[in-house]
Amino acid sequence: MVTDEHDRIFEDFERENGFSAMPEVVSEVLFALQSSRTTMHEIGEIIKRDPGFATRLIQYVNSGAYLTANPASSIDQAVRIIGLGPLKGLCLGIPVFSRYKHVLGVREIWAHSRATAICCQIVSEAVRFPEPDTAETAGLLHDIGKVVLAVSAGNFFLSQIQIADASKRDPDWKQEKELLGFNHCFIGGWFARKFKMPQSLVDAILWHHEYEKSRYGRDLACLCMVGDQIASAIGLTHPDDVFVDPGLVGALKHLGIDDELFRKILTHSLERVGRMVAYD
């Protein structure tokens, strides 16, 4: 059953959600971003050709995802605020999440993912992580595998995970592995690889619950785990994710975050995520 289920989920999702199913502008932006000479202005010009995507990108910028003095009112401003690094993740995240926003559970996953992206920004700034853009993207995409599960294995997703007795069960990622033979981290890693995300980002998505296993981006995976846990702890989580990971203490130590710094990170995260929730 495990192998059949695995193949079916991957094949179904790939058939309907590969590059061909993405808005044309997304593949154009991703292609343009492959060149280091591409300018923000050029990216803005491509995005303007798809008013729907452009609107969603501006909405994202203005939804509390960034600290800005004034809301972005044009796509050029939005691209400048986001920066070219995180744009790639948004090109993948926005179409997938908006396409499936009516699927049960996906709205919560999107809110949790946006909150995690904010928390990852804050943690990376606090520990002076050298690639803050990648950290933000990791936060945004870390649970994208859950969308694949919700869409392709909806009945399984709901019956086995969401309505289970929260106090007596293992974390979702462990349950998924036990029941399906793989979990949302594995699916997310596969998805990110398909879209040619950098190896460290693929690894962070793959190991965001088990950062010690990461070979190509352990610090990033660890940071993503901390951002994920903070977003969950302050209430921004999907219904099935109510756990404080026992590995959190080790992860904080790995990143050199002491009690005082953690308190500051939590306060800052509460404030920023609170702003996001108010906008919603």
Q: How far apart are CA 30 and CA 95, in angstroms?
A: 13
Apex CA 176: angle with CA 173 and CA 180, to 5°? 150
Question: Whose Cβ is closer to Fe ion: residue 62's or residue 124's?
Answer: 124
- Minimum Å distance from CB 29 to Fe ion? 26
- Minimum Å distance from CB 235 to Fe ion? 13
Q: How far apart are CA 52 and CA 65, in angstroms?
A: 19
- Minimum Å distance from CB 205 to Fe ion? 9
- Minimum Å distance from CB 73 to Fe ion? 32
Question: Whose Cβ is closer to Fe ion: residue 31's or residue 242's?
Answer: 242
Question: Whose Cβ is closer to Fe ion: residue 127's or residue 221's?
Answer: 221
- Minimum Å distance from CB 44 to Fe ion? 31
- Minimum Å distance from CB 249 to Fe ion? 18
- Binding window for Fe ion (CB under 5 A); candidates: 34-42, 45-53, 226-234, 263-271: 226-234
- Binding window for Fe ion (CB under 5 A); candidates: 17-25, 210-218, 220-228, 263-271: 220-228
Question: Whose Cβ is closer to Fe ion: residue 131's or residue 143's?
Answer: 143
Question: Whose Cβ is closer to Fe ion: residue 136's or residue 228's?
Answer: 228
93-101: long-range pairs with CB below 8 Å, 24+: 93/140, 93/141, 93/144, 94/53, 94/56, 94/57, 94/60, 95/22, 95/23, 95/26, 95/53, 96/17, 96/144, 96/147, 97/147, 98/56, 99/17, 100/147, 100/150, 100/151
- Binding window for Fe ion (CB under 5 A); candidates: 17-25, 130-138, 190-198, 222-230: 222-230
Question: Whose Cβ is closer to Fe ion: residue 25's or residue 109's?
Answer: 109
- Minimum Å distance from CB 173 to Fe ion? 6
Q: Give the CA-trace dihedral at 87, 90, 92, 95, to 10 degrees.
A: -130
Q: How far apart are CA 211 and CA 200, in angstroms?
A: 12
* Nearest residue to 277 via CA among 115, 139, 78: 115
Q: How far apart are CA 53 and CA 68, in angstroms?
A: 21
Establish if 228 lies at the interface with Fe ion (CB under 5 A). yes
Stretch 46-105 residues interacting with Fe ion (CB under 5 A): none
Chain centre distance of CA 31: 21
Please answer whether residues 149 and 176 qualify as being in contact, where contact means their C-beta atoms are separated by less than 8 angstroms. Answer: yes
Size of the site for Fe ion (CB under 5 A): 2
Q: How far apart are CA 280 and CA 276, in angstroms?
A: 6
Please answer whether residues 146 and 184 qualify as being in contact, where contact means their C-beta atoms are separated by less than 8 angstroms. Answer: yes
Establish if 108 lies at the interface with Fe ion (CB under 5 A). no
Question: One symbol per residue from 127 to 146: x for binding Fe ion (CB under 5 A), - otherwise; what is it?
Answer: ----------------x---
Establish if 240 lies at the interface with Fe ion (CB under 5 A). no
Contact footprint for Fe ion (CB under 5 A) = 143, 228
